[in-house]
Amino acid sequence: MESLSFPVDLSDLQTKLNPLFQSILALPAVQSAKPSSTADGVAVLLLLLSALGYLTHGRVWDRPDPHHGIWFERPQLADGASSGRVAATRDVAQKLTEGDYHCVIFWGSQSGTSERFAETLGRECLSHFGISALVADISDYDSESISKIQSKHLAIFILSTYGEGDPSDNTAGLWDWIKQVKDKKTRVENLRYLAFGLGNSNYKYYNRVLDVVADALDNAGANALMPRQKADDANGGTEEDFQVWKDDLFALFRKLGFEQKTVEYQPTIELTFSGETNSEDSNPATSLIHQQTSTQSAIVPLTIKSAHELFAAGDRNCIHMELDLGNQDIVYKTGDHIGIWPCNPEEEIKRLLNVLGAQARMHEYFSVKSDNDSVKPKVPSLTTLEAAFRYHLEICAPVARKTVQEIAQFAPTPEAKAKLLEIGQNRERYEQLTSNTHITLARLLQLASPTEQWTSLPLAFVIENLLPLQPRYYSISSSSVIAPRRIAITALVVNKTIGDKSTSTIHGLTSNYLLSASDVTSNATVPTPSYQRMNQGQRLQGSKVLAHVRKSKFKLPITSSTPLVLISAGTGFAPFRAFLQERTKLHVIGKPVGKILLFFGCRNKDDFIYQEELNKIQGELGYKLKIVTAFSRDGPKTYVQDRVGEYAAEVLELLDAGANMYICGKASMAREVDMKMEDAVSKAKSLGETEVKAWADSLKKRGKWKADVWG
């Protein structure tokens, strides 16, 4: 055992401390406080020890580690060679030159779609044209260095817009720099760029981030080599819009002199089957790929305690389900979201396994190895095909046109290949097919080759081209104050018929999964999918679903006397049920409660969810609660935004009195509510367009106007 050594000479330290001790002992307070008891003696001793500890801190004990900073360095910055460490540059222009890149592809992404598009484009630039592309998270570089990019390089921006026209979190630095560019503090005459935006036209500020960035660059002298293009996810068109833009981009590359190559499929992952089989699925609770963060809890299995139907009649279902948190290490707050992790329906799993000719290997374990460490895994490192298709991959999603073209090379017959190329290379033919038929991967393969199995289609290709299965989020409809260990979900079961009714129905994956788990009888006129339960063979009691909680900013004000304006349509009422429960409880125990103006819209009175509960709450709150309803299919067609317009004066009065306004429901409804309110305040206060926008923005920035909406 090595002997201990001190970093300072103790005799030297004693020499330095002696004068201090003598000074302390010479103090009148110390001399007059001669110990008269054991307790006094201990007190003096503790005083001296405290002084000693203070003076020796950092010298004898708790010395700072000179190598402490290494723990916070990025591993990729370390160079194992003898040359020492090389700091990674945040100057993108320097990076392009040093790495001999042709172009940079910047991505700004909130949900991961822009990032995926950028990575795909980077690979295809190299494989199709030999163009070396730097795929860059914008936050990894100083945005000011964009102005130094040379004209021999190209800059491609793939930017998403979400919420109230907001940029993604990783685009904050770019957003700040763009403000400088707009203020004419920066010029970018050498910059040659292209831009593609992701957004949803149901939202008020559709693709605002793309427009703000592109306008600023144009005004600062940049050269846009192609008109900006926008993806619109309002009708699920993002994938096709990206493909069309990419086709135009590749045409531009050809004009610039780059030769396009014929590319053979090269897998980016390697599957290795072990030969070991298991008839049981892997445990999805431990194998789902999910990043636990400060805003998202871990995934846990939650027990269904109860479930019942909310609609009084009709051919649709709306499920109220209660999940028990039990002893799980998970909490929620009123207004949060719950992410439900569904599994794929049995019919689609069997269809895909059969058409691939993979039934014999469905229970065989395989591992996945990627040739690129930056590629995020879609399935666990050890799983089975059945588990991958059930829990991890979106096998019910429509197939992109690009994928249709690429699958053709693996067709089992010349006829199947010709059919796929006809669909994949002709946009009109593809759109005609997908508008009338729900084309999943398995159904596409069956359509192209009804009799032959696709045994030549690599399973690696299948996994690469299927998207990872994602959770679906629901606003929690229970109050954490009233029911802290129980989460309520309000879920409309979606079954969308496309084309002829006999042709195809798109079943909402998670809503039908919850319906199946609830034991509520389906009201649909079409057959509903069947799902495997986590505890197969049991009835509702004890059945579980996998879920995690996501924090939300959609919160009640701290002061209960603050008035509320609640605007909702359909299941958008879910968080307001929790808000009302909480306010009612406070009122019952004698706390002051502000006035509440509730707007609720639905098709007809049979769809009036939680009507009995609302009547009871109305009885408790009395004049404190005013309910305004709108029925679009019962009497004169009236939507909730119409009713907001009718009561705009009362809404404005409440807002002027300090009320908080909340909107929950479809984005298109929220957009029209915004228009109604802006029109009302313009007329009531004689404000111009700029002043109206400033009024609305002020309320939103102060948290007085909140929206929780979906596409």
The mean per-residue pLDDT over the stretch 45-65 comes to: 60
Q: Pick from 249, 233, 194, 246: which is nearest to 113 by CA?
A: 233
Share of the chain above pLDDT 90, in %: 69
Region of residue 599 (left: phi > 0; alpha: psi -120 to 50; beta: else): beta
The residue ranking higher by pLDDT, 78 or 390, is 390
Alpha-carbon dihedral of residues 214, 219, 225, 231, nearest 10 degrees?
20
Encode pLDDT of 56-85 as tens digits.
555 555 555 444 443 334 333 333 333 333
Banded model confidence at residue 98, pLDDT cuts 50, 70, 90: very high
Cα 354 from Cα 470, distance rounded (Å): 24
* Position 24 pLDDT exceeds 90: no
User: 30 or 475: which carries more pLDDT confidence?
Assistant: 475
AA letter at 636: P
pLDDT band at 286 (very low <50, low <70, confident <90, very high): low
Sign of CA dihedral 459, 462, 465, 471: negative
Q: CA quadruple 533, 536, 537, 541: dihedral positive or negative?
A: negative
Query: Whole-angstrom distance between the N-terminal and C-terminal Cα of the chain?
Result: 67
State pLDDT tens for residues 504-539. 889 999 999 999 999 899 999 888 899 988 765 555
Give pLDDT, residue 26. Answer: 55
pLDDT value at residue 195? 97
Cβ neighbors of 603 (< 8 A, separation 6 or more) are 631, 632, 633, 634
Distance CA 490, CA 577 (A): 10
Q: Which domains does the chain have, with CATH numbers?
A: 22-56 (no CATH), 92-255 (3.40.50.360), 302-342+472-552 (2.40.30.10), 343-470 (1.20.990.10), 564-710 (3.40.50.80)
pLDDT at 169 over 80: yes
Q: Left if phi > 0, otherwise alpha if psi is -120 to 50, otherwise beta: which for 151?
A: alpha
pLDDT, tens digit (0-9, with 9 covering 90-100), for 609-648: 999 999 999 999 999 999 999 999 988 899 999 999 999 9
Of 578, 569, 555, nearest to 664 (Cα)? 569
Averaged pLDDT, 51-58 = 60
What percent of the chain has pLDDT above 70?
A: 85
Q: Give the pLDDT band of residue 189 (cuts 50, 70, 90).
A: very high
Q: Which residue has the tokens 């790929």?
A: 289
Contact 354, 451 (CB under 8 A): no
pLDDT digits 0-9 by tens, 347-372: 999 999 999 999 999 999 999 998 77
What is the predicted pLDDT for the residue at 55? 59
The pLDDT confidence band at residue 234, using thresholds 50, 70 and 90, is: confident
The sign of the torsion formed by the CA atoms of 600, 605, 610, 615 equals positive
Q: Is pLDDT above 50 for 692? A: yes
Query: How many Å apart are CA 44 and CA 30, to the nearest integer?
Result: 8
- The per-residue pLDDT for 11 is 46
Give me the amino acid identity at 646.
E
Q: Which residue has the tokens 């329906």?
A: 345
DSSP class of residue 610? T
Name residues whose C-beta falls within 8 Å of residue 331's C-beta, 6 or more positions apart in sequence: 297, 325, 480, 484, 549
Look up residue 336 and give its amino acid. D
Q: Strand 544-550 relative to strand 337-341: parallel, antiparallel, unpaired? A: antiparallel
Average pLDDT over residues 81-95: 66
For the whole prediction, is pTM greater than 0.75? yes
